[in-house]
């Protein structure tokens, strides 16, 4: 099992551009979570998705950020009109089910730098 | 609202010394707590969870509901234990709340 895959690993954008971050969960996992880690801080929950459904987006900024997990293909975290404050590491995690509190397995992260 | 606090950003010990990484939490429900570790240039990985009550790589952690703590301990630190350690709480909705992390440095 290849584990959770994220790409790109590093992404550089200029202010105002769009950033698209991809996450492929572990095989057999249907639950995806996105976390953001700002410099010198811990990981902060952003959004929890199942296939074609957003379950909890309480950690998502109200504007410019969106996430999806389509029936086919990876989960996408999209940031429109990026600003310098969006520079961070974005981690994706997956779990097999939502029954109880399943262990979440993390990807290597995407480090976004906004110039 | 839940919160996880790791009071030490950096903990430096000598090889063979005991180590304790502190974690305190606040949560109104019945918590499930985890320790994750991130070695240099590697992804975050689960070290242990309180519900399994196991010892991994010599580390143990006991949930103390009275003190709302879940400190991570190891009696004899090894150089390969040097890493970032994150304490995390899972609420009933599957959201993980992380502490700020503690960098453990084990000196030879």
A60/chain B closest Cα distance in angstroms: 13
**What is the chain B residue with the closest CA to A103?**
B46
Strand B45-49 relative to strand B32-38, pairing:
antiparallel
User: B106, B78 in Cβ contact below 8 A?
Assistant: yes
Select from A45, A95, A106 the Cβ nearest to the Cβ of B44: A106
Chain B residues with CB-CB distance to A43 below 8 A: 44, 86, 96, 98
Cα–Cα separations (whole angstroms), residue B59 to A17, A56, A61, B63: 45, 33, 37, 14
In tens, the pLDDT along A6-29 reads 999 999 999 999 999 999 999 988
A–B: how many Cβ contacts below 8 A?
Answer: 58
In tens, the pLDDT along A67-82 reads 999 989 999 999 999 9
Q: For residue B62, which of B7, B96, B21 has the smallest C-alpha distance?
A: B21
pLDDT tens per residue, chain B (108 residues)? 789 999 999 999 999 999 999 999 998 878 889 999 999 888 899 999 887 777 789 999 988 989 999 999 999 999 999 999 999 998 767 789 999 999 999 999
Q: What is the pLDDT of residue B27?
A: 87
Instruction: State how far the Cα of B1 lies from the Cα of B97, in Å rounded to an integer.
Output: 10
């Amino acid at each position: 099992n290849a584990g959770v895959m994220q790409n790109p690993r590093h992404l550089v954008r200029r202010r105002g551009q769009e950033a698209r971050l991809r996450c492929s969960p572990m095989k057999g996992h249907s639950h995806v979570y996105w976390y953001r880690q700002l410099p010198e801080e811990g990981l902060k929950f952003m959004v929890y998705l199942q296939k074609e459904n957003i379950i909890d987006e309480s950690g998502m900024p109200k504007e410019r950020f969106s996430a999806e997990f389509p029936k086919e293909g990876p989960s996408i975290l999209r940031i429109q009109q990026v600003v310098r404050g969006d520079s961070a590491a974005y981690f994706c995690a997956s779990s097999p089910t939502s029954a109880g509190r399943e262990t979440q397995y993390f990807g290597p992260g995407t480090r976004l730098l906004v110039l | 609202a839940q919160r996880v606090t790791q009071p030490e950003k950096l903990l430096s010990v000598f090889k063979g010394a005991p180590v304790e990484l502190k974690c305190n939490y606040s949560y109104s429900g019945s918590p499930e707590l985890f320790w994750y570790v991130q070695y240099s240039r590697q992804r975050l990985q689960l070290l242990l969870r309180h519900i399994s009550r196991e010892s991994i790589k010599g580390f143990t952690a006991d949930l103390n509901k009275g003190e709302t703590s879940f400190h991570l301990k190891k009696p004899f630190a090894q150089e390969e234990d040097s890493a970032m350690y994150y304490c995390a709480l899972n609420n009933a909705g599957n959201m993980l709340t992380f502490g700020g992390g503690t960098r453990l440095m084990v000196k030879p």
